[in-house]
A and B are shown apart, each in its own frame.
Chain A
């Protein structure tokens, strides 16, 4: 009797880890059908997750349809990037964690980074998108922290309360700017052309966007200080 889930099919890859799937995707030149099946399996497992997290972050700017476009774009870019990796086994090793959960979360974090980048690309000059994505991809893969940190529910609750006190304009300005956050300087690095486009999305000027963002951050800091929120999410009261 024929196997209803032959090994080379998406269904046949159901037991494979996410790192295994990336490894197969990286072998797309030599085994295109296997790579395609792996990509399908990755999509089937995690398209809901990717839609939910991107909808939370960008749904108010993109709408449901635009967010769906972003999801599809994210998975396509993941396949394209995997195909550019020279050594598939190195890719598997890079994303394999100490447990299946950790492996899955590493890959989902990677998909999240791609989604964020895809959102930024909507404001970027088209000529610059492709080459910068490759540079970004290699940098991200090499620098991301791989150790899971547990959330502090009390600290998260205080952050939510502080965010709820922002005006809609302030919240929107801060939220839309986050993809351009520069970790090293702890500030926002938005190229001018992109800043104009992002501001236009909100119906504002770049200057107004900066002012709203600044007010949002000040309010957030003040509110968290008053509530006893400390660095690293520790709560003192």
Chain B
């Protein structure tokens, strides 16, 4: 899936694994390892964050079949023609990659 030929040894779009993990510690990623969860359980918001009232009740297991609000409108703001007449689904998605470094 990843075209390593374009990644480059200089790593114009590379993020070291250590930094990726560090971003999890500060909440920029949703914690996934046990260590990250351990830290996240100590965040002050675990006690102080106000929850949307609808989350205080256990939701239904089945999602609505189709919703006008929610996901469709989320993207429709930016892609009003999304859907059968919009962009074609890709069988094997081409990755969005850098060409030459454009930031020099």
Contacts and interface: CB of A to CB of B under 8 A. Distances in A.
Interface string A109-132: 110110110000011010110000
A187 B75 contact: no
A57 interface: yes
B90 A151 contact: no
Interface residues of A, number: 98
A184 interface: yes
Given A48-B51, A68-B54, A187-B7, A155 B27 contact: no
24 contacts: A49-B40, A64-B52, A72-B63, A73-B63, A109-B33, A112-B31, A112-B36, A147-B34, A147-B35, A148-B38, A150-B38, A151-B35, A159-B22, A163-B23, A181-B15, A185-B14, A190-B95, A192-B95, A207-B102, A213-B13, A214-B12, A215-B103, A232-B18, A233-B22
Contacts, number: 227
Contact of A185 (B7, B18, B34, B94): B7
Given A49-B46, A113-B30, A191-B94, 6 more contacts: A10-B58, A57-B30, A75-B59, A116-B32, A125-B87, A144-B32
B82 to A, nearest CB: 9
Nearest to B35: A149
A128 B89 contact: yes
Contacts of A51: 49, 51-52, 55
Contact of A52 (B16, B28, B45): B45
B22 A127 contact: no
B37 A108 contact: yes
- Shortest beta-carbon contacts, A-B, top 10: A191-B93, A195-B96, A149-B35, A56-B27, A200-B78, A148-B34, A105-B34, A105-B37, A112-B30, A68-B52
B78 A197 contact: yes
A136 interface: no
Interface string A34-60: 001001100110011101111111100
A177 to B, nearest CB: 9
A44 B58 CA distance: 7
Contact of A178 (B13, B23, B93): B23
